[in-house]
Structure 1
Amino acid sequence: VESTGASLKVVPAKIDDFQIQFDKFEEMITAKTKAIIVNSPNNPSGVVYSEETIKKLAEVLNAKSKEYNHPIFLISDEPYREIAYGVDVPYLPKYYDNTIVCYSYSKSFSLPGERIGYIVVPDEVADFGKVYGAIAGAARVLTHVNAPSLFQLVIARCAGKESDMSTYEKNGKLLYNGLIEAGFKCVKPQGAFYLFPQSLEPDDYAFCKRAQKYDLLLVPGSDFGCPGHFRASYCIKTETIEKSLPLFKKLAEEYKK
């Protein structure tokens, strides 16, 4: 984005449920806005955007596109689409025509690091030919054009099959319940494999540094544009999470002294 002379702006989420904070969102859209990027199920919060949120998002973007007389594209980043726990994940092109979908098999097939996937440019997208050509050209210029041939064969054989996501769901419940019991505040995850609790002090970097004393490796929320939080990943062995829960309790007790 920055190589084109553009800039990225972070839209604040509602802290109580991490849905879009629409008053702030509408204020930040200007005549220069070209695209909006969303990620649902979300990294780092584990939240899935509700159908109500998606409908409101489409309504706002349609109105703003009309107001500024140019399309505002919606880029839907969906590597966690299949990792959802008892909730529906709305498919955004059904709600907004100018949606481009980016998908990766690295999460749905539990192949972290293997960046192989696809981009969907529906026929309904404004200037379809130019957009499709620009994406193809960018892939070549940025050297993203060919995944290793072995994994192309793997994906061709596995596409359409379902992976067992029950371990992620089990791990998420275990970690969430353990952190709540230890006194943390956290939105319950609906998908992906992350928790995003509030840190126990305003400085999330300092909090994550202190957590390292207990071998807890956490990511500061400030790195995601949301200070005062931290990300904990649970795409690990269940026994590792079980061992971590007493350590989270010890960490929390430090803040009660």
Structure 2
Amino acid sequence: MNISQTIAAQLENASWIRRMFEEGARMKQERGADNVYDYTLGNPDVEPPPQVLQALARVVSAGLPNSHGYMPNPGFLPVRQAVARQLRRDTGLPFEPEDIFMTVGSAGACNVILKSILDPGDEVIVLMPCFSEYRFYISNHAGRLVPVETSEDFLPDIGRIAAALTPRTRAIILNTPNNPTGRVYPEQVLRDLNSLLAGCDHEILVISDEPYKHLVFDGNKQPEVASLIANTAICNSWSKSQALPGERIGYLALSPQVRNRAALRAACAFTNRILGFINAPALWQLVELEAMDSTVDVSGYERKRDLLCDSLTRAGYDVSKPEGTFYVFMKTPIPDDIAFVRILAKEGVLGVPGAGFGRSGYIRLSLTVPEQMIRKSIPGFAAALQAVSATV
């Protein structure tokens, strides 16, 4: 049976993250796990907060009515009420339970909102570099990704965004704190984007993908996108903030300032079902009802950020400390980041080339690894840099 030509083409450009992760598995078999330093996958290496595990135990043992059954398409009403209260507190906006849709992670939320707004050929602006799966989410719903480069320091460039707008532009995806760069978009940049969109002659939705919202370092906070940009849909999950990526629990929230909100509510409730997700996991909705304010301790990631960045700087690399997420986006010592990733791999160090995120000349390193692994990997980074220097 032949597969779809579209999928065949997408497989050729499939995620570098998974590709390098699989390469790591092969190398660990050959060299032994202790001799491979794998920075590829953003898979939290910490346990969920105690409040989350305690809530899970209570939900499982209590045998709550309908805790394993179907529910309204948007999710359990008490959970959506709790999310709306949290968003009212955080944003100052009058979110209602009807604005909330419990989804299968933030990825599910992104697909629900894109399915709800896109017609074939509609355009979605994505700021580069970006999470590589956005391209596939958009094409899932017959849309077209329009890449727009960020500034040299990875912040949204309002002029470039303005130049990319067309009558077919339906949405802009923002991801702050950003994967892969770790940048947190400042309040003024978000205000400037809101001013740009307010002057457009048709509605453009900002899709704010926020799974790293609570992973911000140095005592800072992520500005509330929905408070600063009127026409916003929030996609969020607890995968990163509570170290629960395998549980696939998140939500979509429509800002009370979104125009024609009633129609969009109905569309999202419908697409949340027909995409095949049916509902977000029932048990985990009930867990989050009790524990949604809990977050992992970010100090561990911050400590590993400092260890890795300081060590790489001393070794001779050009690297800036991320403001959030658990990634370091390091400049490679040669322009060909894919070639450099191969040089690193010979030293047992695995990262993801920036080309996989739309910005060549960089490599993404995940901080979801033990501190001891970071320390042991530094000689490999140094050897790779020396190998590059010897060929220049």
Which range is displaced more, 242-251 or 191-200?
242-251
* 1:23 equivalent among 148, 154, 159: 159
Which consecutive unaligned segments of at least 5 residues does structure 1 have?
A: none
Identity value in percent? 37
The answer to whether structure 1 residue 59 and structure 2 residue 219 are counterparts is no
- Aligned residues of 1:100 and 1:122 also touching (Cα < 8 A): yes
1:35 and 2:167 correspond: no
Is residue 2:144 matched to residue 1:11? no
**Structure 1 CA distance for aligned equivalents of residues 140 and 242 of structure 2:** 32
Question: What is the rounded CA distance, in whole Å, between the counterparts of 2:213 and 2:190 in structure 1?
Answer: 15
Tell me the equivalent position of 2:233: 100
Deviation of 1:42 after TM superposition, in Å, equals 0.6
1:250 aligned to 2:383? yes
Select the residue among 167, 182, 186 that pairs with 1:46: 182
1:201 to 334, 343, 367: 334
- Residue from 206, 209, 228 that aligns with 1:77: 209
Q: Cα RMSD over matched residues?
A: 1.5
Q: Give how far 1:27 is off.
A: 0.8
Cα displacement (A) at 1:170:
0.5
Task: Report the equivalent of 1:143.
Answer: 276
Q: What CA distance in whole angstroms lies between the structure 2 residues aligned with 1:221 and 1:153? A: 38
**SS state at 2:169 partner:** coil
Question: Which protein, 1 or 2, shows the higher relative CO under an 8 Å CA cutoff with sep ≥ 6?
Answer: 2
State how many pairs are aligned. Answer: 252
Instruction: Return the offset for 1:84.
Output: 0.2
Task: Tell me the residue number matched to 2:122.
Answer: none
Specify the structure having the higher radius of gyration (Cα).
2
The answer as to whether partners of 1:106 and 1:116 remain within 8 angstroms in 2 is: yes
- Contact 2:190 / 2:225 at 8 angstroms: preserved in 1? yes
Query: CA offsets, 1:157-207, max 9 Å, x none?
Result: 321123211111111111111111122222320000001111222221111
2: distance between equivalents of 1:148 and 1:120? 17
Equivalent runs, 1:148-163 vs 2, <5 Å: 148-163=281-296
Question: What's 1:90 paired with?
Answer: 223
- Is this contact kept in 2: 1:221–1:231, CA < 8 A? yes
CA contact (8 A) 2:235 2:253 kept: yes
Q: Alpha-carbon deviations, 1:115-155, whole Å to 9, x = none?
A: 21111112220110121222222221222232333433332
User: Structure 1 pair 153/240, CA: closer, same or farther in 2 (3 Å)?
Assistant: farther
1:228 CA drift (Å) = 1.1
CA distance in 1, matches of 2:267, 2:309: 42
Matched AA of 2:371: T
CA distance in 2, matches of 1:145, 1:179: 46
> What is the aligned counterpart of 1:219 among 340, 343, 352?
352
> Contact conserved, 1:45 with 1:187, CA < 8 A, in 2?
no
Q: Do 1:179 and 1:248's aligned partners in 2 also have CA atoms closer than 8 Å?
A: yes
Deviation at 1:211, TM superposition (A): 1.3
Instruction: Report how far residue 227 of structure 1 moved.
Output: 1.1
TM-score of the superposed pair, with normalisation by structure 2: 0.62
Higher mean Cα deviation, 141-150 or 208-217?
141-150
Q: Is the 8 A contact 2:211 2:237 kept in 1?
A: yes
Matched position secondary structure for 2:207: strand
Structure 2 SS opposite 1:9: strand
TM-score, structure 1 length as denominator? Answer: 0.93
> CA–CA distance in 1 between the matches of 2:143 and 2:186?
29
Shift of 1:220: 1.0
Q: Deviations over 1:36-57 (max 9, x none)?
A: 0010001000110011211111
2-structure distance, mates of 1:239, 1:3: 41
Which moves more between the two structures, 35-44 or 24-33? 24-33
Q: 1:175 matched to which residue of 2?
A: 308
SS in 2 for 1:232: strand
Residue 137 of structure 1: SS of its match in structure 2? helix
Change (3 A) 1:13 1:187: farther
